[in-house]
Amino acid sequence: MKRVVILISGGGSNMVALCRSMTGDHPARPVLVVSNDPDAGGLAKAREMGIATAVVDSRPFRGDRAAFEAELLKPIEAAQPDILCLAGFMRILTPDFVNRFSGRMLNIHPSLLPKYPGLHTHARALDAGDAEAGCTVHEVTPVLDDGPILGQARVPVRAGDTEETLAARVLEQEHRLYPAVLRRFADGDRRPVAL
């Protein structure tokens, strides 16, 4: 049974979708949810699902990424993860941290990578007049939002869309895509999922 640690910073809707998917004959189980923000709404959701949680507040560390990550590693390593899932985790991780989990750390990004790495992806798609948008699950590598793509889901951009309406349409697909990719990845299958 693969042990999955999920990192969040906010509401954790992707974390909830992942945890709900890991049941029955699924080869993985969530063992810990970690947040860098003590006020993250996802912490209460994880506890309601009976999943262990940890908080490593990033604010006291200011810009000292290495010091923050040294603390962050403690509960993660203690959970003995096989797979790490970043799910709405809003901190940039150093190459040292990323390389420690090379080949077994996933992230979901709300754009059709390689388009729009970084932030404000929906605003950028709307500004560009794109006909479609979507989300990507990829392996995390030291370059931000750049690793091997493990799955993508596409949505139409509709006339009158705002950042909020597009984000909501994409988020629905994130909740389908991430569990599908995790299931395949936990089975050792790296073929991309196309939804």
Q: Which stretch binds ligand GRF (CB under 6 A): 4-12, 60-68, 75-83, 154-162?
A: 4-12
Catalytic residue among 26, 109, 122, 175: 109
Sites for ligand GRF among residues 107-136 (CB under 6 A): 108, 110
Q: Which stretch binds ligand GRF (CB under 6 A): 11-19, 50-58, 94-102, 187-195?
A: 11-19
CA distance 57 to 38: 6
Q: Tokens 């203690």 identify what position?
A: 78
- For 182, the token pair is 């995790």
Q: Which stretch binds ligand GRF (CB under 6 A): 8-16, 53-61, 76-84, 145-153?
A: 8-16
Quick check: is 109 catalytic?
Answer: yes
Least CB distance to ligand GRF at residue 147 (A): 15
HSE value, Cβ hemisphere, 13 Å, CA-based, for 185 = 29
Q: Which stretches does DSSP call E strand in 48-176?
A: 53-55, 83-86, 105-109, 132-139, 149-156
Q: Is the distance from CB of 111 to CB of 126 less than 8 angstroms? A: no
Least CB distance to ligand GRF at residue 135 (A): 7
Least CB distance to ligand GRF at residue 194 (A): 19
Is 72 or 171 the residue whose CB approaches ligand GRF more closely?
171
151: contact with ligand GRF by CB under 6 A: no
What is the DSSP-derived secondary structure letter of residue 59?
A: G
Is 66 or 128 the residue whose CB approaches ligand GRF more closely?
128
Q: To the nearest 10°, the Cα dihedral for 82, 83, 89, 90?
A: 90
145: contact with ligand GRF by CB under 6 A: no
Sites for ligand GRF among residues 35-54 (CB under 6 A): 42
Total residues in contact with ligand GRF, by rule CB under 6 A:
15
Q: Is the distance from CB of 151 to CB of 192 less than 8 angstroms? A: yes
Q: Tell how far CA 100 is from the center of its chain.
A: 17
CA distance 92 to 23: 30
Where does this chain bind ligand GRF (CB under 6 A)? Answer: 8, 10-15, 42, 87-88, 108, 110, 167, 171, 174
